[in-house]
Amino acid sequence: MVKQDTDTYHHSGQYQPWRALIASETCREVETMSPNPTDQRLARHDAPLVTFNPGIIDETLSLPIDEAVAVLCDSGPLDQVPGYNGSYERELLAKAHATLDAALRYHDEAALHQIHRALFLLYDLHVADAGSPRSEHQFDPLLTRLRREIERRWLDTETSRFAHVPRPADSDELVAALKRLWSEHPASCHPLFDFLEKEASKEQIIAFFTSDSALNIRFFDLLLFSMVGSRIEVRKELAQNFWDESGRGEPARSHVTLFRRLLDSVGVGQAVDNHAATLDWQGLAGYNLFMLTALNRRHYFKLLGILAMTELLDPPQYEKLARGCRRVGLGTANELEYYDEHVTIDVVHGEGWLMNVIVPIVEQTPSASADILVGARLRLQSCAGYYDALYAKLNALR
Ligand SMILES: [Fe+2]
Ligand SMILES: [Fe+2]
């Protein structure tokens, strides 16, 4: 395992940045922990911080941007690094922009994965366990700037993919527009779910569960983010969603617990990154879209649109999935409760979210409807891309 000198950093107040460990040794040791170093690096979120010699800073500039971010997130106090706010910052941002060009202009798949993995790691700093050394970097200025640069260009690219639509005149028109968007979008009737219902093998269905893990397990926090800074009038509905998500007073019935139980029952088990390392860039992008809008106050109304689409999308899709699961022999030991619960409860949540969250907000602030619609369209767009990629991936497992 990786050697540590974390006491020096955490408790003495006399941290000597370049004294302790040699980063190249650390990286080599980490890579030997797993046959797949990428998986291991996504998975080691709660590993103690490692310190490094100054040379590591130059080394990160020769790494892909996601690998550089992974090293920085796992490092000691970054503001003590020579050049951190000068030449190093310029070069790291230039690398990020070059990767963004390849990803967003030229649709380079490897660059798209690097960008979304980097964002995933940067977002993870904001939901890290308080005991995790990574929490030290939550508001690191360079990591924050890097995140904002990636977010800005990614969001510009995504919003440029759909045409401008006139703003609805009132809340009734907005609700009708949201329902129309959902029912007419290819994501709402994607063949992936017909495949899961009628054709997929047990192994393919289990691969779907694995792919669903990171977002399903993070959903508790996402609902909480929707409650932060919320209008008083909508809190009853938000609290009801949160109460249902957390098991209505029974920890064993919390949705995270139900989903983790499913993963255990089918042999997938648990991972510290909730299996995010298995995601391709479309899966990471879907997750990142939630985190982008949850963590940036100015995108709060987009988050509400994203969550509205999520509640509308899930019930019919999960109904097909649950039928497919039973077709291959799953469900005899109540292991499908996570999906069964969402089939019924998200019908209530979907309508409640529209009438008791979106309507009151738009009646108070009519201009919010534009961002709510943008969020809804972003979610449908990212879902469609994710479903396409996952459908192809599951088919390749045949
Ligand atoms: Fe849930
Ligand atoms: Fe829900």
CATH number at residue 239: 1.20.910.10
Q: Are 335 and 260 in contact (CB under 8 A)?
A: no
What end-to-end distance do the CA atoms of the chain give, in Å?
A: 37
Residue with tokens 């397990």: 217
| Residue 148, both tokens | 């904002």
Q: Does residue 186 lie in a domain region? A: yes
Per-position b or e across 130-153, b if 16+ CB within 10 A of its CB: eebbbebbeebebbeebbeebbeb
Same-domain status, 215 and 357? yes
Task: Please return the burial class of 63, using the count of CB atoms within 10 Å of its CB with bins 0-12, 13-18 and 19+.
Answer: middle
Is residue 132 located within the same domain as residue 213? no
Q: Which of 159, 184, 203 is the last residue of a domain?
A: 159
Determine, yes or no, domain membership for 196.
yes
Question: Where are the extended beta strands (E) located within 132-219?
Answer: none
257 and 131, same structural domain?
A: no
The residues, any chain, with a CB within 8 Å of residue 380's CB and separated by 6 or more, are 181, 182, 185, 187, 188, 309, 313
Same domain, 391 and 248: yes
The pocket of ion ligand 1, defined by CB under 5 A, consists of 245, 255
Q: CB within 8 A of 210, min separation 6: which ones?
A: 263, 268, 275, 278
In this structure, is residue 164 part of a structural domain?
no
Q: Are residues 272 and 244 in the same domain?
A: yes
Considering its fold, how many domains does the chain have in total?
2
Torsion of CA 45, 46, 52, 57, to 10 degrees: 20
| Rounded average pLDDT per 10-residue block, the chain, 398 residues | 29 27 31 35 48 68 95 83 80 97 98 98 96 91 96 97 86 97 97 98 98 98 98 97 96 97 97 96 98 98 98 96 98 95 92 97 96 97 98 94
Distance 11 CA to ligand 2 centre (A): 42
Ligand 2 center–CA 365 separation, angstroms = 25
Phi-psi region of 137 (alpha: psi -120 to 50; beta: other; left: phi over 0): alpha
pLDDT at 47: 53
Same-domain pairing of 140 and 182: no
Query: What are the helix and strand counts (H, E) for the chain?
Result: 18, 0
Do residues 88 and 81 make contact, with C-beta atoms less than 8 angstroms apart? yes
**Would you say residue 299 lies in a domain?**
yes
Residues 97 and 191 in one domain: no
122 and 187 co-located in one domain: no
Q: Evaluate whether residue 1 is within a structural domain.
A: no
- Provide the whole-model pTM: 0.88
pLDDT on residue 40: 39
Q: Residue 76: what pLDDT?
A: 78
In a domain? residue 143: yes
Q: Are residues 102 and 215 in the same domain?
A: no
User: What's the gap in Å between 195 CA and the centre of ligand 2?
Assistant: 24
Does one domain contain both 202 and 341? yes
**166 located within any domain:** no
Nearest ligand to the CA atom of 248: 1
Domain C-terminal end among 159, 186, 216: 159
- Token couple for 315: 């019930």
User: What separation in Å is there between the alpha carbon of 314 and the centre of ligand 1?
Assistant: 10
- List the domain range (segments joined by +) for residue 30: 6-159
Q: How far apart are CA 216 and CA 213, in angstroms?
A: 5
Place of tokens 């469900």: 331
User: Ligand 2: distance of its center to the CA of 342 in Å?
Assistant: 6
Which ligand is nearest to the Cα of residue 219, counting in written order? 1
Q: Are residues 116 and 181 in the same domain?
A: no
Q: SS3 of 47, please?
A: coil
334 CA distance to ligand 1 middle (Å): 16
Q: How far is the CA of 369 from the centre of ligand 2 (A)?
A: 21
Collapsed DSSP state (helix, strand, coil) of residue 170: coil
| DSSP per-residue letters across 55-72 | HHHHHHTTS-HHHHHHHH
| Both tokens assigned to 45 | 């979120």
In a domain, 84, yes or no: yes
Q: Which residue has the tokens 């706010």?
A: 85
CA of 255 to the centre of ligand 1 (A): 5
Whether residues 236 and 339 fall in one domain: yes
